[in-house]
Amino acid sequence: MNDHPRLTAVFARLSFGRTSGKKPARKATDNPKWEKRLQKELMAIMKDPPDGITVSQDTLEGSDLSQICVNMTGPSGTLYEGEAFMLRFKFGPKYPFDSPEVVFTGENIPVHPHIYSNGHICLSILTEDWSPAMSVQSVCLSIASMLSSCKEKKRPPDNSFYVKTCHKNPKKTRWWYHDEDV
Amino acid sequence: MSSESPPPAASGDNQDELILAQKEAIAQDIASNASLVGNLEPVYSLEREFSHDAVFMTKIGNLKGRYAELRRTRPDGNCFFRAVAYRYFELLLHRPDEYERIKALLPRAKAQMIELGMPTFTLEDFYDNFMDHVDRVGQAHMDAQQLFETFNEPGQSDYLVVFLRLLTSMQLQRNAEFYQNFMEGDKTVAEFCATEVEPMYNESDHIHITALTEATGISLRVIYLDRGSQTEASLHDFPDQGESAATTPLVHLLYRPGHYDVIYPVKSTSESGPATSNATVTTTAELSS
């Protein structure tokens, strides 16, 4: 897996981050191997990036695996064609048994009926329907597919109320997944 | 990362956080009070919990003749999968025939999972890990104590659970036409798998058990200790052998409403070697009378 020289360098940097950060005390439900799994995921994306998805430069240059950013280009033939977005993933020590926290970040938040203007995404796989068989890559693809199937660019109806009252971590919202068709 | 800060002062605006914080506190509480997999205890230890309950006490009394010991699992929604996995790996320590059988079966199962479109990258991770443990146990590179420790290490234990969840999902989806008959409302089998089978911490039902035993060929008996009016705990064999009950199931589980533990027939604890078939067996007909 470490045969590509540039990837090897990146991998070394990512691995180095494991020992440099201070570690909080482990809880009984934590997965001690979450960083290893995440390294493998990132390596796979870098080697064989899906359409329109790249790991951000900051992530590649940084050493902190608990937070990574992914660039996403609006899929062609959709309302978002050519737009550039950024997704931020935060991982906890129960990954991949618990879902990552995923939000849109940066200047351009997609205008979409399931995406709030603060970047929070209403998507069931990000909370209760998360499965450990999913990955950064499959989350990106699900979000891209959510964008692709959108017929009208608009914010969720409760956008202004939600954005004012929500926690900054969308996983602290108990989502109601009502409208599966959009 | 500062996202784990306490709810803001205006918490009246956001009940969600309080509810989720409470759920997390409950999960931590369960985790600190119950091992993922517990030590062996005598079946009569159940009597302490149900001493106030005549129906349960009668049924436990009748169980004692056939079952000697019990091994509790953590009630975290994964108990069925964890209990089956633990007991099965424990059997593999002494059953070269089972080891050969499962070693031949799993690669085929993996191919079927990939064929269904399960994400190869993560699937392989879980598969490799599971296979590695099957090999270690089957080739005596791991003993009963190491197995016990492995199953009590959260990351590792859950990795094994995930693979069984994926196997179950595969079996349901490959036979979607049949299993569609058991779906509630207009839920498809694929949706059921995505919401009730693959995600962790979702409790298992009859349908999960049927699919997992079909997918793995692991025969299973569940003893139901519930509020039914009979004096014997009812039982169900997977796969269903009808009245014949020709062979003794490999794995025995005790079900109490909402939870599964491992239960060991008299004279067939983990140390008794391959002779599980000599355990005291009661046929379906006798038990359900």
Distance CA B121, CA B114 (A): 10
Residues in A closer than 8 angstroms to B20, CB to CB, are: 171-172, 174
How many domains in chain A?
A: 1
Mean pLDDT of A99-108: 96
Q: Report the CATH number at residue A125.
A: 3.10.110.10
> B31 and A29: CB-CB below 8 Å?
yes
In a domain, A141, yes or no: yes
Residue among A134, A141, A43 nearest A91 (CA): A134
pLDDT beyond 70 at A21? no
Which pLDDT score is estimated for A110?
97
Residues in A closer than 8 angstroms to B3, CB to CB, are: 90, 101, 168-169
Domain that holds residue A69: 5-19+33-172
Please say whether the beta carbons of B263 and B280 come within 8 A: no
pLDDT beyond 50 at A18? no
B117 vs A: CB within 8 A = no
Q: Report the CATH number at residue B147.
A: 1.20.1300.20
By annotation, the residues of A acting in catalysis are 122
Q: A35-73, pLDDT tens digit by residue?
A: 888 888 998 888 888 999 999 988 888 778 889 999 999
> B13 and A165: CB-CB below 8 Å?
yes
Q: Rounded to the nearest 10 degrees, what angle do helices B79-92 and B120-138 cross at? A: 40
B37 vs A: CB within 8 A = no
Q: Which has the minimum average pLDDT: A9-23, A72-86, B215-229?
A: A9-23
> Is the backbone peptide bond immediately before B6 cis, with ω within 30 degrees of 0?
no
Q: Which residues of chain B have pLDDT under 50?
A: 1-12, 268-289
Residues in A closer than 8 angstroms to B13, CB to CB, are: 165
Mean pLDDT of A107-118: 96
Which pLDDT score is estimated for A28?
60
Which pLDDT score is estimated for B116?
94
In a domain, B178, yes or no: yes
Q: What burial class does residue B25 get, using C-beta atoms within 10 Å of its C-beta: 0-12 exposed, 13-18 middle, 19+ buried?
A: exposed
**Residue of chain B with shortest Cα separation from A35:** B155
Mean pLDDT of A102-124: 96
Higher pLDDT, A33 or A141: A141
Q: Is A102 helix (H, G, I), strand (E, B) or coil?
A: strand
Closest in B20, B165, B199 to A129, CB measured: B199
Q: Where would I find the H helices in A32-127?
A: 34-47, 57-61
pLDDT beyond 60 at A118? yes
In a domain, B20, yes or no: no
In a domain, B72, yes or no: yes
Band of residue A171 on the pLDDT scale cut at 50, 70, 90:
confident
pLDDT beyond 90 at A109? yes
Which pLDDT score is estimated for B75?
94
Distance CA B103, CA A51 (A): 37
In a domain, A150, yes or no: yes
Which pLDDT score is estimated for B1?
37
Chain centroid to CA B229: 26
Q: Is B125 a catalytic site residue?
A: no
How many domains in chain B?
A: 1
> A132 and B28: CB-CB below 8 Å?
no
> A34 and B155: CB-CB below 8 Å?
yes
In a domain, B29, yes or no: no
Higher pLDDT, B141 or A33: B141
> B119 and A138: CB-CB below 8 Å?
yes
Closest in B3, B158, B199 to A169, CB measured: B3
In a domain, B111, yes or no: yes
In a domain, B63, yes or no: yes
Distance CA B43, CA B71 (A): 9
B13 vs A: CB within 8 A = yes
Q: Is B76 a catalytic site residue?
A: yes
Percent above pLDDT 90 for chain A: 53
Residues in B closer than 8 angstroms to A119, CB to CB, are: none
**Residue of chain A with shortest Cα separation from B20:** A172
In a domain, B105, yes or no: yes
> A132 and B162: CB-CB below 8 Å?
yes
CA distance A101 to chain B (A): 10
In a domain, B130, yes or no: yes
> A90 and B123: CB-CB below 8 Å?
no
Domain that holds residue B280: 36-287
**Residue of chain B with shortest Cα separation from A67:** B1
Which pLDDT score is estimated for B245?
57
Which pLDDT score is estimated for B214?
96
Which pLDDT score is estimated for B29?
81
